[in-house]
Structure 1
Amino acid sequence: METWSDGSRLHLGGAIHERVLLSLLLDPERTVPVSWLVEAAWNDEPPMTATHQVRKAVADLRRRIPHGNDVIVTDGQGYRAVLDDAKLDLVEFGARTAEADRAVADGRPTDAIAALQGALALWRGRMSGLGSTALEAAATRLEERRVTAAEQVFDLCLRAGHAGGLVADLRDLAAQHPFRESLHAQLMLALYRSGRKAEALDEYRKIRELLVEELGIDPGPKLSGLYEAILREAPELDIPTAAVAEPKESAPAPTDLPEPAHIPCTLPYDVADFTGRESELSALLDCMTGGRQPHGRGRVVAIDGMGGSGKTCLTVRAAHQVTAEFPDGQLHIDLHAFTPGESPVLPAAALGSLLGALGVPGDRIPGDLGGRRALWRSQLAQRRMLLVLDNAVDAGQVYPLLPASPGCLVVVTSRERLVDLDGAEWISIGPMAPEDGTRLIEEVLGPVRTAAEPEAVQELVQLCGGLPLALRIAAARLRNRPRWTVRYLVERLHDETRRLKELSAGERSVAATLQLSYQAMDEEHRTAFRLLGLYCDANIDLYAGAALLATDTRDAEQILERLLDVHLLQQTDMAVYRFHDLVRNLARSLSSPATTHDDEMAVERLLAYYWTTTEAACAVLFPGRAQVPASITPHTGELPVFTTQAEARSWFHREHAGLVAAVELADRKGLDRYTVALTRNIVFWLSSVGRFDEFKQLSQLAVAAARRGDDLTPLGSSLSNLGVACWRLGHLDEGIQSAREGRDVATLTGDRCTESHSESMIGLLLTVQGRHDEALPHLERAITLERELGVPRAQAENLSCLSTLHMQRGAYEEAALAARQALEILRSLDYRDNHVMALTDLAFADAGQGRYAEADDHLRQARALCDASSPPGDVALALALSAEVAECLGRSAEAPALAEEALEFAAISDSPTRQAKVENLVGRLFRRRGDFHRAMALHTHAHELATGMQYRSEEAHALYGMAEAAAAFGDAEAAAAHTARAEQLFRFMGVSGQAAWCLTG
């Protein structure tokens, strides 16, 4: 499945996203229940969170598809794909086959053929590797529709008198469906009408043997009757008289034709299992057959791609398909630019071979390049020939071989784009699409083995990076080792230090193929490639490249573009580069295990660049952030400039993977001060966008690095940050432990800033656990320290925490006061995310006091501040409360849509604390609306989340909701048990029964 918008292919997500969207598109404009989507995604073994994962996948798809909210709409208990202006090939297929049916009914067979051919041209291949029984069944139905349409067009063509031109396509389709007798009947008739009676009878023999051996049956009466009719050459099998064209008077009799001359053809063998590359093959064929010769010169088509990408196979496949266009011959020569143990062929030697292939005697071939070039051009004058110059090193090797005849076509393949080959039409070959890679594995390995392990096959394609050479080697190893499973080879390939060694078979080796490209470069570019291998897990832009290579951005771009030209780098965006997975393995092997002084300096330059840039970005994004000294010398090279928060956010989003990779690089190299300092900056952004798992992982690296150092100050701040990550993820006990250790270290070192932050985290985590009396002194201590230190942003955050504590205790006036104080501070700082939460806190306090109009106004302001970069959990909370407030104000029509959107944002937030709170709020809304089944499901899941992390206030709210739903179902015993447990929790938290009742609605 492919999705395109404005000429760019969209990345939709993982397998679950694809299965969900595919399920909707298979039945457009109709509502698909969530239960069916769960079945399509996980068959009969869905996880406990399947429904929420489906909703999360829908939310992701809506964000990734332009105008996604209009394309996928919520409809009752399911979703519906609304196409409107969007184009879906499945719908177009149906429209064209319907048009064909109308044309047949109206007696317009030519129009019917055109419509069916247009429908079949949409076919890109059978859906495979879906991992879903329901979707595989749908794929089978689609295949049946395609074959039926193909049978219909073949039937119409046979009636119209076509025969020989149908044979190849009929053979292919009959081979794909060997038991479909109607296809074999059509093939037999096409062969017979083409004057190939013996082949037609042999086709019957083969299908009869297959049916008897595999199914124990004989061919049906239609096929048997056709066989008998062919044997007796029945007149009814002849081409219909009306379809036979009258012979032209000018057509020469066979005896007038000249004797055929020798037509040279040295094209290599066309591999039988060639698969995929439909778009590249189509583009190449268009260039080979549809171009015009400018100024009387022959055409040149040049194909470039990394080693092992299948350039030669593609070119040979296309060359064999256009031989009729070049009746005077087709020549191929390997110029050995990148052949192990071979030197590039000199132009004079190449011309000698080509002239010999034309039949020129050796004694007539001149010894010098000029003479051979002149003879070559004279031999090709007035000829229409195809010349394939394979594996060229540069334009200088190619130019002497170009013919002058306008009827000739030259196809050049090279690992490097020969930019100085004037007048050439270029086609670049990248990695194969995953579905094409899967088909290639199936072609080599066989359908039985690949069908047994579909997920392992997909992973194998991914590990091979879609490189045809790697895929063929992997498949060949599996074919030659029948006891190996695909999973076994996949596990071997997971070891990146041995992956390239695993991808070798006989004389073929991915490592050797790629290394030839590396060795062909000059020393400057080999050094650059090796340095890039030190940091090869993510994208690299010009600024990072300049830092790593110790140059300016202009020189860095020139070096990176050279590596791009020889396909040792790929370009993901303008001036942004990355390695292909297997090239990355090569680069890493060249950069390890020994690390030179130059390598160490390069790594430090890169890390200093990232630290300096993240400092600048954080200063723009997080005004009022406490300044922490770091023993790092700022980078003095070129840096991106951030004048707005949008620019800083965009840079963080684009460099996200690179920043994480930089921390991991610092950790691997033992550069602990960079690990700590860089992590502190990155986690500020990770927290703001809700990437809490990465937040915790990097914080753990920073804590470990800080423990190795002599200075305790970084340890205190790293432990405090780890506490924040644990809070976001609901790992409350671990968070309290980290925050307390961080506070103790900060107290010991006199780091009052970290001490206040740690006190704040302890207070917040204790609040979440419902230990309000313990939490309050920590929060008050943190606010006092922050006021003394003059860090208003941190003070505002703690006032929000204090507001939450008062809310949980039912002290709404105190909660509102703290929230207003936080707002006053944040307005002066212009810090959006905390501003959103302060407004939401104030709305909670207003709602608790029944002031719904004020709450509605504050929530409207909060939602207006949210955008695509806002933390999903914060957005979810504001939406969920907005739904409840709208219901309370009598705007019931608004509430459901806000609630559903809140649940979708909560599901993608990666924050179980936010998700539990949102699900309880929305569950309460559904209780008010009388939908107790939906309410019970939400409260039950919220209870599971809250119980697992000891989030006692939400655990109690969930229990109250479950009690009310159980009572509505008539289960008084369960209702009483849930109520008793909820009241026990509220007593533990020091909340009165009346306050508890207000809190739960």
Structure 2
Amino acid sequence: MIQGRDIGVTFSLPDRPPPALAGLPPCSTTFVGRDRQVRDLIEGLAPSTEGQVPVAVVTGPAGVGKTELVLQAAGHALRQPGWFPGGVLFVDLFGYDSARRVAPSQALVTLLHALGVPSEHVPPELPERAQLFRTVLATRAEAGRRVLMVLDNASSEEDVRHLLPSDEGTAVLISSRHTLAGLDARPHRLGLLPADAGVTLLRDVLRQACERDTRVSDAPQDAKRLTELCDGLPLALRIVASLLVDRPNRPLSSIREALEDGRSRLDTLSREERAVRAAFDLSYEQLSPGQARLFRLLCLNPGPDFSTEAAAQLNGSGIPEADRLLDGLARMHLVALGRTDGRWRLHDLVRLYAADCLRAEGDERDGGDSLHRLWLHYCGVSLDAKDRAFVNGDDAQPAESRFKCRADALDWLDAERHSLMAVALSTHRGGDDVVCVAIALHISPFLRDFRYLDDAVAVLDAAVRSSRKLKEPGDETILLTRLGLVYRDLRKLKKSMRAHARAIALSRKHKDLSGRASALNNLGLTLYDLRRFDEAVDAHAKAEKIFRRLADEHGAAQALSNIGETLTAVGRTGEAAAIHRRAAKIYRTSGDRLGYAQALGGLGMALRNDGKLNKAVAAHTEAVSLMRELDAPHPLAIELGNLGVGLFMVEKYKESRAAQEAALEIFERMGDRHGQAKVKGNIGLVRQKQEKWTKAAEAHTEAAELFAETGDDHGLAMELEHLAQALAPQGLLAEAFENFLLAAGLFEQVGDAGAARTAARWADVVWQVAEELSTGHG
């Protein structure tokens, strides 16, 4: 049977026709979200397309809508005048259904019949049938009766190789879960439906059944969540829609609640013969035993994606074997390529299906062994990466490491960040507390340094609770004080104080001197931010004394650096410079280049505030150079900001602004809004010196908003004062006066009496100028 034209030959179908279908099945009238893909396919079907391969393959996972896409494209193409006067041939090859699979020889019989070739003229052997089929297609194309072929559900190149034409006139659309990379064809990869298109699909299907159905528009959040739970698969969404159509009074929230339970989600997404599970079953049955086993085990990885190496650990095999199996699963679209080469991911519904297969096969023991291997892998490599990237000096570098340098270790931590977090959280929930604590101890320095602060809080909080269950006070103390540091970075200073206080109390109880010293040192940092400078110096000094007692030179150097910065803040710059030099000497001797760079930065600030500006700039410049070499972006941004201030003070305004903008770019990339606030304020000061008052006011306004968001009242007060200084030269005296008063009030609240008096004096000056101008005496 051929659609669209008269063949001139008639024949009778056998009593039981083969499962291959001739003609084009009807298209769905609720087709959304694929306009661009339809256009791309149609462009390759036009008869005037020269040099274009006449075969296109649409690939994608089960249920993503490949068949519907090729049917829509074919329908559009057939409606174009003169494109396919010979009509269309459609065959469903059922390549993923062993019971209904259509062999190429059987498909050719049906296709030749559809083209008008009588049964007695169909050759018995496959090659001859294929040759005849191609001859008939070419003859029709030459006679101006060009044909479009649609080959649906092909599972391999061999399914379609003998069905492809040899002429350049006949066009072919193929759908497959495999990539069919061995064919000379244009690939079209079909992804999941975007959320908005999924919601539109639900709405259109329901309204097609009943024009007055407003359930989607009445509950847009439930509709969006249903789209997410169906993982953007049109098949799953249509199944949900059909369940809703069956029960017109059922609210979307009811089926959403049913699907929220991941254990029953696949069972809920079924209706008669249409089921997501059935679609996946057909792919699963095609797998080799090795592919099937790995596929089942992949659901055990808790992260959103995984590396080939992680898959090898689950599989208990080498990486080459795992890579080969993953390639096969990818061709079946049971796994998808990840963000980078060597990374993979499972869609949610596929993961649920794999978990069902794991339970059905009774692989619990195998799964337990696989998870044990995976946990050991993540714990071991994350420890290696932490030691390689965050050691305290060259002497402490691991003797043997898989990582050639610090950058390699950081790259691995960044690539595996989501997986490592998922491992820590899942093992905490599952009671494998040892793994949770180990992973948190290994990755928390990276998460903090690279400003994944919310992630760090989640991991550290879980690990604190796990360490408590394990009755490991030493680990709990370390985790608590690291949590306090992260809360400080988030400007949650009360929570930071509580975490450090708990760490100190725990270390005292268990006579853990090292833990107590670290907790005291970190407590001092939070006290500094609270502007409780005397208490901060006291905490750091106590920490330094304990570190000396323990012969921990590196810990002592950290405490000294912190004392130096606090003394700089209270104006004791000479003492601060001497202390920073002592700390720098310790860092240099131990080979800790990052610590040395940070000590140089602290020294630069002390020298700058002591009026030794050129020496300060030199110290900051050396610190910046070292931090660039060490690939330490956040410390680099801090030091670029400090260098910018030094350059500002020696009146190198262009260079100052360049340094500040380089710092701002890093702070913005890392999401450090407090760092952004400081740099924007400094840029505003540069603009003032350049007498660009409007741009200065804009920079100070942005800085003030950021300080307000991050809860830094002292920083906010400084920016309000600087903003007033930028407004006054523009003649905006009322606004300047108001901002000076606001700044004075905030300085008073935070206990900075000197700054409060200065801001109040400025307010008086502006008021007097305004009065003189208003009376005509100015």
Sort the TM-score into its range (normalised by shorter chain).
0.7 to 0.9
Q: 1:926 touches 1:934 (CA, 8 Å); kept in 2?
A: no
Q: Which residue of structure 2 lines up, in the alignment, with residue 606 of structure 1?
A: 374
Identify which of 754, 769, 779 aligns with 2:515: 754
Q: 2:235 touches 2:276 (CA, 8 Å); kept in 1?
A: yes
For the residue of structure 2 that corresponds to 1:675, the secondary structure is: helix
Shift of 1:976: 5.5
Q: 1:607 touches 1:666 (CA, 8 Å); kept in 2?
A: no
Q: Which residue of structure 2 lines up, in the alignment, with residue 161 of structure 1?
A: none
Identify which of 429, 433, 444 aligns with 1:683: 444
Q: Which residue of structure 2 lines up, in the alignment, with residue 354 of structure 1?
A: 111
1:695 lines up with 2:440 in the alignment: no
Shift of 1:786: 3.2
Identify which of 611, 617, 621 aligns with 2:389: 621
Q: Which residue of structure 2 lines up, in the alignment, with residue 467 of structure 1?
A: 233
Shift of 1:768: 2.1
Residues 342-383 of structure 1 deviation map (CA, whole Å, 9 limit, x = unaligned): 532344543443344345566877888789768767766734
Q: Which residue of structure 1 lines up, in the alignment, with residue 25 of structure 2?
A: 268
Identify which of 547, 562, 565 aligns with 1:804: 565
Percent identity between the aligned chains?
A: 27
Q: Which residue of structure 1 lines up, in the alignment, with residue 541 of structure 2?
A: 780
Q: Which residue of structure 1 lines up, in the alignment, with residue 529 of structure 2?
A: 768
Q: 1:836 to 1:424 in 2, by over 3 A?
A: same
Shift of 1:551: 0.8
Q: 1:956 touches 1:981 (CA, 8 Å); kept in 2?
A: yes
Q: 1:626 touches 1:753 (CA, 8 Å); kept in 2?
A: no
For the residue of structure 1 that corresponds to 2:402, the secondary structure is: coil
Shift of 1:700: 0.3
For the residue of structure 2 that corresponds to 1:624, the secondary structure is: coil
Shift of 1:718: 1.7
Q: 2:507 touches 2:515 (CA, 8 Å); kept in 1?
A: yes
Q: How does 1:8-47 map to 2 (within 5 A)?
A: none
Q: Which residue of structure 1 lines up, in the alignment, with residue 336 of structure 2?
A: 570
Identify which of 44, 58, 61 aligns with 1:306: 61
Identify which of 349, 361, 379 aligns with 1:582: 349
The separation in 1 between residues aligned to 2:404 and 2:249, in whole angstroms, is: 61
Q: How does 1:180-579 map to 2 (within 5 A)?
A: 261=8, 266-275=23-32, 276=34, 278-279=36-37, 281-283=39-41, 285-286=43-44, 301-323=56-78, 324-338=82-96, 342-359=99-116, 382-384=139-141, 385-399=147-161, 401=163, 408-418=170-180, 423=184, 426-432=187-193, 444=205, 463-473=229-239, 496-501=262-267, 503-504=269-270, 507-572=273-338, 573-579=340-346
Q: Which residue of structure 2 lines up, in the alignment, with residue 69 of structure 1?
A: none
Q: Which residue of structure 2 lines up, in the alignment, with residue 823 of structure 1?
A: 584
Q: Which one-letter code corresponds to 1:857 in the other structure?
A: A
Q: 1:455 to 1:462 in 2, by over 3 A?
A: same
Shift of 1:702: 0.6
Q: 1:383 touches 1:405 (CA, 8 Å); kept in 2?
A: no
The separation in 1 between residues aligned to 2:401 and 2:75, in whole angstroms, is: 51
Q: Which residue of structure 1 lines up, in the alignment, with residue 744 of structure 2?
A: 979
Q: Which one-letter code corresponds to 2:100 in the other structure?
A: S
Shift of 1:562: 1.3
Q: 1:880 touches 1:922 (CA, 8 Å); kept in 2?
A: no
TM-score (norm 2): 0.78
Q: 1:281 touches 1:314 (CA, 8 Å); kept in 2?
A: no
For the residue of structure 2 that corresponds to 1:534, the secondary structure is: coil
Residues 945-999 of structure 1 deviation map (CA, whole Å, 9 limit, x = unaligned): 56x4xx67647756766887899547768746753652564479x99999x99xx
For the residue of structure 2 that corresponds to 1:382, the secondary structure is: helix
1:944 lines up with 2:702 in the alignment: no
Residues 432-464 of structure 1 deviation map (CA, whole Å, 9 limit, x = unaligned): 466766775676567997888888776665554
Q: Which one-letter code corresponds to 2:325 in the other structure?
A: I
Q: 1:416 touches 1:565 (CA, 8 Å); kept in 2?
A: yes
Q: Which one-letter code corresponds to 1:705 in the other structure?
A: S
Q: Which residue of structure 2 lines up, in the alignment, with residue 121 of structure 1?
A: none
Number of matched pairs: 722
Q: 1:939 to 1:408 in 2, by over 3 A?
A: closer
Shift of 1:557: 0.6
Q: 2:704 touches 2:716 (CA, 8 Å); kept in 1?
A: no
The separation in 2 between residues aligned to 1:870 and 1:625, in whole angstroms, is: 15
Shift of 1:839: 3.4
Q: 1:394 to 1:905 in 2, by over 3 A?
A: closer
Q: Which residue of structure 1 lines up, in the alignment, with residue 483 of structure 2?
A: 722
Q: 1:369 to 1:877 in 2, by over 3 A?
A: closer
What are structure 1's unaligned runs of at least 5 residues? 1-257, 629-633
Shift of 1:705: 0.6
For the residue of structure 2 that corresponds to 1:387, the secondary structure is: strand
* Range moving further from structure 2, 686-695 or 832-841: 832-841
For the residue of structure 2 that corresponds to 1:535, the secondary structure is: coil
Residues 813-869 of structure 1 deviation map (CA, whole Å, 9 limit, x = unaligned): 222223333333444566565455433322221221122222222333344445599
Q: How does 1:160-175 map to 2 (within 5 A)?
A: none
Shift of 1:743: 3.1
The separation in 2 between residues aligned to 1:503 and 1:259, in whole angstroms, is: 43
Q: How does 1:812-891 map to 2 (within 5 A)?
A: 812-828=573-589, 834-865=595-626, 874-891=635-652
Shift of 1:315: 2.2
TM-score (norm 1): 0.62
Shift of 1:623: 2.4
For the residue of structure 2 that corresponds to 1:271, the secondary structure is: coil
The separation in 2 between residues aligned to 1:364 and 1:734, in whole angstroms, is: 86
The separation in 2 between residues aligned to 1:720 and 1:627, in whole angstroms, is: 25
Shift of 1:678: 1.0
Shift of 1:487: 8.3
For the residue of structure 2 that corresponds to 1:714, the secondary structure is: helix
Shift of 1:471: 4.3
Q: Which one-letter code corresponds to 1:522 in the other structure?
A: S
Shift of 1:500: 4.0
Q: 1:768 touches 1:952 (CA, 8 Å); kept in 2?
A: no
* Range moving further from structure 2, 561-570 or 324-333: 324-333
Shift of 1:575: 1.9
The separation in 2 between residues aligned to 1:457 and 1:705, in whole angstroms, is: 38
Q: 1:575 to 1:971 in 2, by over 3 A?
A: closer
Q: 1:935 to 1:326 in 2, by over 3 A?
A: closer
Shift of 1:909: 4.7
For the residue of structure 1 that corresponds to 2:444, the secondary structure is: helix
The separation in 2 between residues aligned to 1:943 and 1:301, in whole angstroms, is: 56
Q: 2:680 touches 2:700 (CA, 8 Å); kept in 1?
A: no
For the residue of structure 1 that corresponds to 2:175, the secondary structure is: strand
Q: 1:812 to 1:983 in 2, by over 3 A?
A: farther
Q: Which one-letter code corresponds to 2:68 in the other structure?
A: C
For the residue of structure 1 that corresponds to 2:383, the secondary structure is: helix
The separation in 2 between residues aligned to 1:974 and 1:866, in whole angstroms, is: 38
What are structure 2's unaligned runs of at least 5 residues? 12-21, 142-146, 762-778
Shift of 1:742: 2.2
Shift of 1:644: 1.6
Q: 1:627 to 1:702 in 2, by over 3 A?
A: farther
Q: Which one-letter code corresponds to 1:317 in the other structure?
A: Q
